[in-house]
Amino acid sequence: MTDGSTERPTRVVAQGTFDLLHPGHVHYLEEAAAAGEELHVVVARAESVAHKPDPVLPDEQRRDAVAALEAVDRARLGHPTDFSVPIREIDPDVLVLGHDQHHDEEAVRELLAAWGIDCRVERAGGLEPTGDDLYGSSDIVERAIADRERTGSRSPVELEADADD
């Protein structure tokens, strides 16, 4: 917290791939922003996303979409190989992990300490979709592929005409 003197704002860091931005991402980043006064986001580079398919959108497009969100003060691309580089630049007071991120909190705490970063580690809550909404990038891609396979490349107007025949 600032005390109105020389203390700097509490810096929070959030990170992830953020492909095809959806309300779940917004929820995470708003919750992360509420943990401090300045939210910095590290957007993973496609080359370091190893645990799931490559993101659809290019690195810079994902970074710019995240940067445009009201909750975010600054978004930057991650380092291709040395994850300590952006974190050292930001020097966060709090790191907020996403609700379903595979990183173990204690392991991240130890990693940060090894990098010389004195930082709290917290875990955000999840946002469950209602109705037809999709709050997962992979779910969005899967629905787009399934819809395209079902309908071919026909437009809604053509589909309606087919249905009338």
> Per the annotation, where are the binding residues?
17-18, 22-25, 100
Q: How many residues does the chain have?
A: 165
Residue ranges of the binding site for ATP = 17-18, 22-25, 100
Asked if residue 16 binds ligand FMN (CB under 6 A), the reply is yes
Name which position in 33, 98, 112, 117 contacts ligand ATP (CB under 6 A): 98
Q: Which residue is nearest to ligand FMN (CB)?
A: 78
Structure-block tokens of residue 139: 């779910």
Give the number of other CB atoms < 10 A from CB of residue 136: 15
Name the amino acid, one letter, at 21: L
Asked if residue 28 binds ligand ATP (CB under 6 A), the reply is yes
**Which residues, in sequence order, are CB contacts of 130 under 8 Å at separation 6+?**
none
Compute the distance between CA of residue 38 and CA of residue 75 in angstroms, rounded to an integer.
Answer: 11
Q: Which of residues 102-121 bind ligand ATP (CB under 6 A)?
A: none
Residue 21: strand pairing partners: none
Considering the complex, what minimum distance in angstroms separates the CB of residue 131 from ligand FMN?
Answer: 24
Tell me whether residue 33 or residue 66 sits nearer to ligand FMN (CB atom): 66
Compute the distance between CA of residue 94 and CA of residue 35 in angstroms, rounded to an integer.
Answer: 7
Return the sign of the alpha-carbon dihedral for residues 41, 46, 50, 56.
Answer: positive
Asked if residue 42 binds ligand FMN (CB under 6 A), the reply is yes
Q: Choose from ligand FMN, ligand ATP, none: what does 151 bind? Cβ within 5-8 Å by kind.
A: none
Compute the distance between CA of residue 22 and CA of residue 136 in angstroms, rounded to an integer.
Answer: 7
Encoded one letter per residue, x for contact with ligand ATP by CB under 6 A and - for no contact, window 31-60 reads ---------------------x--------
The binding site for ligand FMN (CB under 6 A) comprises 15-17, 42, 44-45, 48-49, 78-79, 83, 86-87, 98, 101, 103, 108
